[in-house]
Structure 1
Amino acid sequence: MTHVMAKGANISLSATAVRAVLRWTAAAGGPDVDVSALLLGPDGKVRTDADFVFYNQPRHPSGLVRHLRKQRSGSEVADIIEVELAQLPPDVDRVVLAGSAEGGAFPEVADLRVVLHDGAAANGVAPIAEFSCADAGPVTALLVAELYRRSGGWKFRAIGQGYADGLGALATDYGITVEDEAAPEPPVPPTVVPIVPATPEPESYALTPAAPRPIPPPPSYQPQHAPQPQTAPGYGYPPQPPAHRAPAAQPPFVLPPQGPQFQPR
């Protein structure tokens, strides 16, 4: 027998594993819907971000909560969460089932409902419970229902409360770290390299003079007659007489020719 539930109603569960199916009728131009699950501790918060199971993180690290691929039959769409209730650790106190609308709000989603099945039951067996979320209001994120511990067992509660700010606001309320989308970086202007004129060296910079080139010695000069050393008078030996020079050659003496003799008158 299927329990048709009203908002806020709850039932006890005997199943050790369940399959929660969010169903709706797709319409042209209408929003798409995604189901997700949050594993909460006794403080009502997730223990880590890994406790958020959704389309981008479809499997909990423990493997006990799984998000399956969407199924479509005609215009009806189903998005599914599977939970192994009996194997969840004691510090998991609740599993919240949520939905988010992409491209619109939930009033635009036709025939939205959650159907809870026994995970061990064969196909064709009637579901455990069904809850219609038709009066969700103008919201884009929705707390559909929850599975929670009570007196050593598990129970199922219909919620149907929404968030106008979307799935990010819902996740933040339960302790999920939501990163904002990075703002686009401004365009980088082209790099302009300025032309800097050459700067003259300051006067204080003294130029180092070049080393003088060595001047080669003149070729050796040997005089034809080297002067003889002389000793000043009164010191040492008397000066040496100058070397004898031959007299310069004189032209021969030629007698004038004899003229006419003088005859006295």
Structure 2
Amino acid sequence: MQMGSNLTLPAGPVRVTLRWAGGTAGIPDVDASALLLQSSGVVATDADFVFYNQPEHPSGAVRVVARATATEYPIDVNPARLPATTDRVVVAASATGGTFGQVPGLEVVVTELTGGAVVATFAMHATEETAFVCAEIYRRGDTWKFRAVGQGYASGLAGLARDFGISTAESPAAAPPPAAPPPAATPPPVVTPFPAAAPPPAAAPAAPAVAPPAAPPSAPPAAPRVPAGNALDLDAPWPPR
């Protein structure tokens, strides 16, 4: 395949293998990884980054396979098990201790997982890159396709991961938000003094006492107004019961 070309994948899971030639002497440490991307072009969560420290996606659709030799790095992809929100799977590579210009015969080989038939081979050419987007498996209607990408990065795996929305330990810390200004002092409430109470009205002069008429000598004495034993209790509650 040529850079930028694509083809329709057969039904069923496939194995995407990054491999190179020339043994390991003088060659940087090479690792492969995969990122499950949404239609927005970024991952939904950090769990969508499959690599050596997180070798299998929670869906089981993508996993890093144990290496059979020191010069190959296989990743299995089962499109039928990918989450419905996954629009494409990017297969990437990173080099530690050197650049991909020091890795001879770098290529990606796609095979059917059942039977091992070769589906595609894509050779990549590098100079100073320390990370690569090698290829991608993307959804097109009801089918899945494979595209040869070969895009290099000079910022290593961390820079590549950040571009796809992964939080890494090397990501710059976000600046803290500016402190909110202190609230304005509330002026003390204005207390309006109550007007002086008006003096009570003067009491009306008492009417002159009028002596009751004298009872005729033959009238019996008047009965007391409060019978004995019915004296008011001044400590009782009001109204009296």
Fold shared by both chains (TM-score > 0.5): yes
Aligned positions of 1:28-47 closer than 5 A? 28-47=25-44
Quote the residue 2:98 is aligned against: 104
SS in 2 for 1:128: strand
Q: Deviation of residue 57 (structure 1)?
A: 0.5
Whole-Å separation in 2 of the counterparts to 1:118 and 1:40:
22
Given residue 139 of structure 2, which amino acid in structure 1 is its aligned partner?
R
Inter-CA distance 32–174: structure 2 relative to 1 (3 Å threshold): same
1:175 equivalent among 161, 165, 178: 165
Provide, for residues 105-143 of structure 1, a one-character-per-residue CA deviation record: whole Å limited to 9, x for no partner.
0010011100001122x2xx431000001x223100000
Q: Pairwise mapping of residues 35-184 of structure 1 onto structure 2 (< 5 A)?
A: 35-72=32-69, 77-120=71-114, 122=115, 125-133=116-124, 135-180=125-170
Is the aligned partner of 1:14 residue 2:5? no
For residues 18-44 of structure 1, the C-alpha deviation after alignment (integer angstroms, 9 at most, x for no partner) is 110111122412112100000001101
Distance 2:24 2:86 in 1: 37
Cα displacement (A) at 1:46: 0.3
Letter in 2 for 1:17: P
Are 1:15 and 1:119, in contact at CA under 8 Å, matched by a contact in 2?
no
CA RMSD of superposed structures (Å): 1.6
SS of residue paired to 1:104: coil
The runs of at least 4 consecutive aligned structure 1 residues that moved more than 2 Å come to: none
Aligned AA for 1:175? G
Asked if the contact 1:12/1:156 (under 8 Å) is kept, the reply is yes
Distance (Å, rounded) in 2 between the aligned partners of 1:28 and 1:89: 40
8 A contact 2:7–2:145 mirrored in 1: yes
For 1:246, the equivalent position in structure 2 comes to none
The share of aligned pairs that are identical, in percent, is 51
3-state SS of 2:101 partner: helix
Aligned length: 171
Is this contact kept in 2: 1:35–1:97, CA < 8 A?
yes
Unaligned segments of structure 1, at least 5 residues: 182-265
Say which SS state the counterpart of residue 169 (structure 1) adopts: helix
**CA displacement 1:135-181 (0-9 Å, x = unmatched):** 22310000000000012210000000111010101000000001129
Counterpart secondary structure, 1:111: coil
Tell me the CA shift for residue 92 of structure 1.
0.4
Deviation at 1:71, TM superposition (A): 1.9
